[in-house]
């Protein structure tokens, strides 16, 4: 059954209808989930995600460089796909229905795009990034990581569930190359202060200057490209960003 006859797809656009893939706003990252996890980055077959980049030896010609952690409905990925057409990027999402939506959305965009090869550089995987980041990426592989509007976990006892924390930044620093950028944004002021404080305290990260932030074309997408950011903008809400650079290790 093609997308035109599937009731979950729009007949006019050929894209999946979001209302058929709705799920809870967030999932508990500390609970056990059942999905395949690669033993190491070498065991994840990225050729299945990026078939247009597969070479004669059945391996992809490039490595993933961008990771959108908790990618939601994939708005940022889709915007970045055309901004960085030669860069492979992947969304990592814990909720199964949302992951399926993003997958169907990307496949539909590949089919309906007027430009040959557009959106072939983005994909999505269902996984728990708080537990398994090193299982997907090698040391220093990534150049950008995104954490947009994460679950605030307001109760103090649940702060350990937050996707930005001192101990998790150790793992993010491992997979980010020197000079790589970590982008965070939230509409919860307390969480914004928390994420900024964690990054400021970590020895492997330094804040970008305002001039660097103003000249980065990705920054404006942090709010405008995502469903959560668009909702905040419609309601006239505030957002709180923390954008930091992974510094080189000096022994």
| Residue positions forming the annotated binding site | 70, 93-94, 128-129, 148, 226-228
For 118-149, letters b (16+ CB in 10 Å) and e give ebbbbbbbbbbbbbbbebbbeeebbbbbbbbb
Which residue among 151, 170, 187, 214 is the active-site one?
151
The CB density around residue 236, as the number of other CB atoms within 10 Å, is 6
Whole-number Å distance between alpha carbons of 170 and 236: 35
Q: Are 178 and 247 in contact (CB under 8 A)?
A: yes
Whole-number Å distance between alpha carbons of 185 and 191: 9
**Tokens 């030669």 — which residue?**
86
Catalytic (active site) residue 151 = yes
**Tokens 């656009």 — which residue?**
13
User: Which run of H or E residues covers position 58?
Assistant: none
- Pick out the residues of the known binding site for S-adenosyl-L-methionine: 70, 93-94, 128-129, 148, 226-228
**Tokens 């894209």 — which residue?**
15
Which residues are catalytic, by number? 151
């Amino acid at each position: 059954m093609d997308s035109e006859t599937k009731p979950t797809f729009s007949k006019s656009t050929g894209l999946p209808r979001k209302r058929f893939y709705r799920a809870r706003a967030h999932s508990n990252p500390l609970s056990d989930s059942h999905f395949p996890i690669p033993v190491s980055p070498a065991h994840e077959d990225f050729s299945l995600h990026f078939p247009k980049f597969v070479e004669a030896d059945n391996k992809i010609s490039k490595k993933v460089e961008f990771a959108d952690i908790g990618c939601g409905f994939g708005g940022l990925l889709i915007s970045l796909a055309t901004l960085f057409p030669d860069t492979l990027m992947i969304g990592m999402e814990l909720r199964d229905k949302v992951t399926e939506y993003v997958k169907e959305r990307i496949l539909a965009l590949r089919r309906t795009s007027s430009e040959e090869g557009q959106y072939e550089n983005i994909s999505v995987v269902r996984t728990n990034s708080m537990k398994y980041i090193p299982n997907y990426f090698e040391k220093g592989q990534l150049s950008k990581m995104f954490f947009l509007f994460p679950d605030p976990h307001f109760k103090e006892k649940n702060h350990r569930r937050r996707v930005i924390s001192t101990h998790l930044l150790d793992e993010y620093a491992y997979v980010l190359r020197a000079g790589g950028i970590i982008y965070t944004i939230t509409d919860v002021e307390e969480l914004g202060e928390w994420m900024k404080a964690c990054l400021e305290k970590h020895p492997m990260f330094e804040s970008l200057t305002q001039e660097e932030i103003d000249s980065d074309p990705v920054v404006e997408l942090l709010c405008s490209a995502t469903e959560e950011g668009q909702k905040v903008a419609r309601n006239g809400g505030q957002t709180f960003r923390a954008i930091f650079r992974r510094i080189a290790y000096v022994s």
